[in-house]
Amino acid sequence: MKANESSITSLVSAFGRAYHSKYDTPKIFDDFLAEHLISPQEFADIRGNMIQGIQFFNTDIAQKLQNDPDEILKWIIQVQLSPTPLARAAYCEEVLLNEARLGLEQYVVLGAGLDTFAFRHPDLRERLEIFEADYPATQEFKKKRLEQASLEIPSHLHFAAMDFTKEFSYQKLFDEGFNNDDKTFFSLLGVSYYLTKDENASLIQRIFEEVPSGSSIVLDYADEKLFTEKGMYNRVENMVKMVAAGGEPMKSCFSYQEIEDMLEKSGLLIYEHLSPAMIQERYFRDRTDYLSAFETIHYVHAVKK
């Protein structure tokens, strides 16, 4: 991923969170700081590009809503863009905050982008060290955005620059004060799809080589129907086509047994698994808008034995 592509990816993700925080009710995940990391011009540009792209997503909706650009934007964001990022972030932070109540000392965000957790939970500053692992260019981009938003980087937030999908570096974490004797929680969201099965297995094994029993991870993965399921409004098929056209094709999907076996080989046990139906019930029940759980996407919380 090039520096500029990394910036665009993190901006679009922040745009989705900002839109949800500003316009959607009820909130699945309220990232009320996301909008402060996007300039008004960028917000307008992303909005315009999405509205113009409606023909790609659904020609019938494009025709039906041709005179209502705000509704087109809402449709694209709520149907295609936001369901998985919002719900997996909500789930991950639920697990994380529960772990923190139980005495967790370290949190590693793999692929942090413009994540704002450290800033939304100042109450954890004295209890939780947070390490963000991401591309060097993405981290520099984020630091500039934080400065422009007058958000001072707190002392418990550390940046470990690395492409962890190629080489997960504990040394980079150690350089930032990471202690491998402390129980650690990892988040790995929106990553597994873009790695092969072997790359996923290798990454998980490396992550858990040097942390103690009780350390855990939340990750999302696509099930074995990823490349055959069309989904509501063809949104699963659209997602697969869209990322492939953008140069980052999806490479892997797993049965539950394959995920369980992969984690077991790294000494992990699945503590909780959420299927699409369970995600729908937990985060999208009784909504009256377009938001619903994405087909084929599952969440897992796994713990080191």
Question: Mind listing the pLDDT tens digit for each residue in 138-155?
Answer: 999 999 999 999 999 999
The reported pLDDT for the residue numbered 9 is 85
Domain boundaries, the chain: 3-81, 83-304
Output the six-digit token pair for 244: 């492939």
Per DSSP, the residues of 31-54 read -TTGGGGS-HHHHHHHHHHHHHTH
Residue 17: pLDDT above 80? yes
The packing angle between helices 256-265 and 197-207, to 10°, is 40
300 and 272 Cβ atoms separated by less than 8 Å: yes
Question: Mind listing the pLDDT tens digit for each residue in 46-67?
Answer: 999 999 999 999 999 999 999 9
User: Percent of the chain scored above 90 by pLDDT?
Assistant: 96
The reported pLDDT for the residue numbered 6 is 65
The reported pLDDT for the residue numbered 3 is 54
The reported pLDDT for the residue numbered 8 is 83
Question: Mind listing the pLDDT tens digit for each residue in 215-249?
Answer: 999 999 999 999 999 999 999 999 999 999 989 99
Determine the Cα–Cα distance for residues 236 and 227; give it in Å rounded to an integer: 8
Question: Mind listing the pLDDT tens digit for each residue in 192-210?
Answer: 999 999 999 999 999 999 9
Q: Once rounded to an integer, what is the mean pLDDT over residues 17-23?
A: 98
Q: Which CATH architecture has domain 83-304?
A: 3-Layer(aba) Sandwich (3.40)
The reported pLDDT for the residue numbered 2 is 55
Determine the Cα–Cα distance for residues 27 and 82; give it in Å rounded to an integer: 12
